Amino acid sequence: MFELETTAVDCNARAGRLTTDHGVIETPIFMPVGTQATVKAVEQRELEELGAQIILGNTYHLYLRPGEEVLSTLGGLHKFMNWNRPILTDSGGFQVFSLQELRKITEQGVAFSSHVDGSKHLFTPERVVEIQRCIGSDIMMVFDECTPYPATYDYAKASMERSVRWAARCKEAEEYTMPRYGHRQFLFPIGQGSVYEDLRRDCMKHLVDLDMPGYAVGGLAVGEATDDMYRIVEISTAEMPVHKPRYLMGVGTPENILECVERGIDMFDCVMPTRNARNGQLFTTKGKMNLRNARYRLDEKPVDEAIDSYASRNFSRAYLRHLFNVDEILALQLASQHNIAFYLWLARTARQKIVAGEYRQWKRQFLEEYSSNSF
């Protein structure tokens, strides 16, 4: 499934190719988040135009709406949303465990009430694999607990150990079921263990024993210090097989992504580009920009000439600022397109620099420029 092309000489950054039946993904890669069968405010053809190679879906949300009957009848998520490139699905663990008041956890699984209508449901590792078979994602994730932060050592240990047992059950469920739409589905397990190094190492060792096609690091970007995140990523990647893809879940800022690429991560997802876009915050090669700011009222410059997208190059900051100011939907569309274009540019450029042997140097220069400006 994964072919390692280049490893940097002066750090752990890697360039690779991940092959699915819906196409090849060049890593490092950023995966736009399409929780409910759409990347918010962006059309599928626009995602293709922007160069998105893979997008995310969410098992919990898709299970509730549109639900398995619709997905199954319409031929799976790819066909349902008319997206023919790869899809990865979150297992729903993060969402189910976030339903503080609504859930009951046992060794068997998690009983919860829908945030939509209060109806009762049970997620087990087996059930979550079954749902992802119905969705038809190219990469399925195991059902785990995204350990909250902060967590005591004892809580983190028990939670991690349960996640490991659930990962093994997911793997078994995968082996006893078949893909439904004629394309392969890969299952990745997720490392947990909070900020405790020995738990993280133990967890990853257990998961590596399961011999899965790729490995994820979960439970980060949940409130811990940035240095803790980087330290845990380092520890986790050190335990991971070199020739399999590595996915850091839910991370993060442009800085986070570049630092974790340096530490050996291949795949990223985050709602930040689309969510921040809808709040008027744009990521640019010169730093972050708040488009609601009055300083852009008469600014004729495009958002970012360095980013080659319709939204980034064809409209003035003054026009985008106006659209946000009068609450127009087009503001959300153009800002989301730009931010996704920026994140994809970031991952693509990181890859080029790794291949060219200039990654760390470029990263340093880029972050200097990116952080020194405040718009």
**CB of residue 314 vs a copy of itself: minimum separation in angstroms?**
5
Q: Tell me, what DSSP letter sits at residue 296?
A: G
Q: Is position 9 an interface residue for a copy of itself (rule: CB under 8 A)?
A: no
**Binding test (CB under 8 A) with a copy of itself, winner from 13, 195, 323, 346:** 323
The phi-psi region of residue 82 (left if phi > 0; otherwise alpha if psi is between -120 and 50; otherwise beta) is left
CB of 313 to a copy of itself, least distance (A): 10
Contact 96/59 with Cβ under 8 angstroms? no
Site for a copy of itself contains 82 (CB under 8 A): yes
Least distance (Å) between residue 340 CB and a copy of itself:
14
33: region left, alpha or beta (phi > 0 left; psi from -120 to 50 alpha):
beta
Helix (H) or strand (E) holding 198: helix 197-209
Decide if residue 105 touches a copy of itself (CB under 8 A). no
Which residues have a Cβ under 8 Å from the Cβ of 244 and sit 6 or more positions away?
A: 1, 2, 212, 213, 214, 215
Return the bridge partners of 112, or none.
103, 121
Question: Which listed residue (138, 144, 202, 269) is catalytic?
Answer: 269
The single residue among 98, 316, 360, 375 that binds a copy of itself, judged by CB under 8 A, is: 316
Note whether 56 binds a copy of itself by CB under 8 A: no
Sign of torsion over alpha carbons 355, 343, 17, 44: negative
Annotation says 209 is catalytic = no
For a copy of itself, the closer of residues 27 and 274 by Cβ is 274
What is the x/- site pattern for a copy of itself, positions 31-50, by CB under 8 A? -----xxx-xxxxxx-----
Q: Binding a copy of itself by CB under 8 A: which of 5, 23, 74, 115?
A: 74
The verdict on 181 binding a copy of itself (CB under 8 A) reads: no
User: What stretch of H or E contains 68?
Assistant: helix 68-73
Q: How far is the CB of 86 from a copy of itself (least distance, A)?
A: 19
- Indicate the DSSP class of residue 309: S
Cα 201 to Cα 291: distance, rounded to the nearest angstrom: 43
**Which lies closer to a copy of itself via its Cβ, residue 7 or residue 316?**
316
Query: What is the per-residue binding string for a copy of itself in 136-175, x denoting contact by CB under 8 A?
Result: ----------------------------------------
d(CA 109, CA 129): 13
Residue 84 is a binding residue for a copy of itself (CB under 8 A): no
Stretch that binds a copy of itself, among 68-76, 101-109, 214-222, 237-245 (CB under 8 A): 68-76
Give the sign of the dihedral formed by CA 47, CA 48, CA 51, CA 54. positive
- Closest CB 261 distance from a copy of itself, rounded Å: 30
Active site residue 266: no
User: Which tokens sit at 49?
Assistant: 């135009």
> What is the Cα–Cα distance from 88 to 107, expressed in whole angstroms?
26
Other beta carbons less than 10 A from residue 293's beta carbon: 14
**Rounded Cα–Cα distance for residues 204 and 198 (Å):** 10
Size of the site for a copy of itself (CB under 8 A): 38
Name the site residues for a copy of itself (rule: CB under 8 A): 36-38, 40-45, 61, 65-66, 69-70, 73-74, 80-82, 297-298, 300, 310, 314-316, 318-319, 322-323, 325-326, 328-330, 332-334
Catalytic positions, please?
A: 90, 269
